[in-house]
Structure 1
Amino acid sequence: MDFKICPSMAFLNGPRLLDLASSPRHLQFNRYVLTGYRPVSSVNECVKSLFYLHNELGNIYTHGIPLLCFLFLLPLSIPWAQISATWLGIVHFLACLSPQLGSVLYHLFMNHEGGAPVYRTLLTLDMCGICMVNTLGALPIVYTTLLCYPSTRTVALLSYTLLSSYAIYCAVSATSRFRRLQSFAWQALFRFLLFYARWAGLGAGSPTALRHFLTTDLLALLGGLINITRVPERWRPGCFDYWCNSHQIMHVLVVGSILYLHWGVLDDLLWISSYRCPP
């Protein structure tokens, strides 16, 4: 295939990069990013793209660096000896890792020589990572909020898991960015019902955790809206090809969202260890 090329902004022997019109059709999903596309590459060449500048480098590193930090630092911050339900710490740890891992693999290998089928598989993996943080990330919240109602808690955990399975199906089969974001609406509504129960005194939980969880969802929603509206590159096409485009901003907001989730879950786990339900 003959590609029209544009000058590479490489800092380590990278290939010459492509403009939007010359890149593979399945990678032409943001019409406001005009340059910096990697050519079709093998696995080895995709890995080498970690070391030269292209328009996916920021997306890789804005989730790759947090992935490594979460992988090694989060287990050290979880008070394993003080929590009564170890599985809550485990699912929380997996929830914090899943969106970063899926995103890094997607952005690193999206230009693989396997073409559109490989790209669709990677996109599905990325969506599954987002679904996992929405699913596993909320289970400790469900557990803690309904701590003093064991039967209701079991039903709620099962219901949220089934609802999340449907959300995963909707997200991976969605045909647009808006529909992907819309796929998580029912999960968000379920969580807000739990937040309301806490606020109204009907549910349990650390007094400081609720504001962390609200911030978590607000940052995630803001990141999703910025991503689907393509701001700021929509205003100045070609000026945000490499840095500070909507997807990178969303990545940063997602990392912030996960941090607030972590702080909220930590507050709840420590609170559970010292709380006793009224008879």
Structure 2
Amino acid sequence: MASLVLTESSQQRADGFVKLPDQTITHGSRLVHVGDTTEDSLIRMRRFRLLAVEGNACVPIVYILLTVPALIPWEQVDSRFLPWCHVAGAVSPWIGSFLYHLFMNLDHGEMIYYRLLQLDMLGIWVSQSFGALPMVTATVYCLPWVFRWVIIFFYCLLSIWGLYKAMTAWSPWERRLCFLLPFMMRVLLFILRNSSYGGGDPTGMMHVVLQDGVSAIGGMVGALHIPEKWFPGTMDFYLNSHNIMHVLVVMAVYSMHQATVRDLVWMTQVDCEARHLTLRGYQIKFEL
């Protein structure tokens, strides 16, 4: 944290780098550049030496905004809310990450760095909450309206709880575990999806698994600092957990897009009135 930076030796400050304790490491390297002003951060963004870091987060933002809306079959989709939830969920992690990386070197104290972490977590939360709404809606689409809205409301409630925990977390593990309950509910919804009770495009099952499975793996890799903790000092700039996490995020967002587009089209084509569900021994015909 930035407050720990203030206790480092004057020689380290003169060099522009400090060595942080293990529990404060958020990237692969123990050496973190400090002392930037806001203007310095904006100038550093234009330098090629930050291309690998800022480009890693900035390029996906531009690409997603230019391509994802064009890939959504708007003419086949009745609702505009769910597609835009998907666009927000796809681009938000990169916006939070871009702003975090851009200003993480500011020398304005621990709270500024903590706010940047909160901004980064907010982007992830939007992806986990709004980005998952199309999948949640498709899964319960043909249930009776009472069940459908209760499940959606409960998922939104868990997402709000996750946002609160994400904004108040102080450790890498706390920041990741705040998404545990929404994740577990999506697991239950996946089980429902595989039963005769659930909905959703059956051809998108693999992507439904990958969008959460790959994200979970990326979160664990980042929290455990694998593999750089096994090879100290050799992976400060490449092949570290932070690099791996960003690659896995791209894979997860791709799977989320594939699953979402399939579900959006499925919801416009399915005939729920023709579906029957046996509930507690009674056969109910759904009327939407």
The answer, yes or no, to whether TM exceeds 0.5 is yes
| Alignment of 1:170 onto 2:169 | no
Q: Normalised by the size of structure 1, how large is the TM-score?
A: 0.87
Aligned equivalents of 2:38, 2:257: Cα separation in 1: 34
CA RMSD of superposed structures (Å): 2.3
Residue 201 of structure 1 corresponds to which residue in structure 2?
Answer: 196
Mapped pair 1:114 → 2:116: no
Which residue identity does 1:271 align to in structure 2? W
Residue correspondence of structure 1 range 256-267 to structure 2 within 5 A: 256-267=251-262
CA drift of 1:4 comes to 2.3
- Partner amino acid, structure 2, of 1:180: R
Offset at 1:26?
11
How much does 1:62 deviate?
2.2
The correspondence of residues 138-217 of structure 1 with structure 2, limited to 5 A, is: 138-149=132-143, 150-217=145-212
Partner of 2:59: 65
**Structure 1 residues 18-167: aligned runs within 5 Å:** 18-20=17-19, 28-29=24-25, 33-35=29-31, 37-50=32-45, 51-53=47-49, 58-149=52-143, 150-167=145-162
2:27–2:241 contact (8 Å) kept in structure 1? no
Return the alpha-carbon distance in structure 2 between the equivalents of residues 148 and 42 of structure 1.
54
1:69–1:196 distance in 2 versus 1, CA, 3 Å: same
Q: Does the CA contact (< 8 Å) of 1:102 and 1:129 recur in 2?
A: yes
Q: Which has the larger radius of gyration?
A: 2
Describe the shift of the 1:148–1:205 C-alpha distance in structure 2 as closer, same or farther (beyond 3 A).
same
Q: Deviations over 1:74-113 (max 9, x none)?
A: 1110111110111110111111111111111011101113
**Do structure 1's residue 241 and structure 2's residue 236 form an aligned pair?**
yes
Secondary structure, in 3 states, of the residue corresponding to 1:238?
coil
Q: CA deviation at 1:58?
A: 3.9
8 Å CA contact 2:27–2:242 kept in 1: the answer is no
Among candidates 8, 12, 21, match of residue 4 of structure 1: 12
- Aligned identity (percent) is 31
Structure 2: runs of 5+ lacking an equivalent: 1-5, 275-284
Q: Distance in 2 between matches of 1:76 and 1:272?
A: 19
> How many residue pairs align between the two structures?
264
Tell me how far apart the structure 2 counterparts of residues 201 and 62 of structure 1 sit (CA, whole Å): 42
- On the 8 A contact 1:58/1:243 being kept in 2, the answer is no
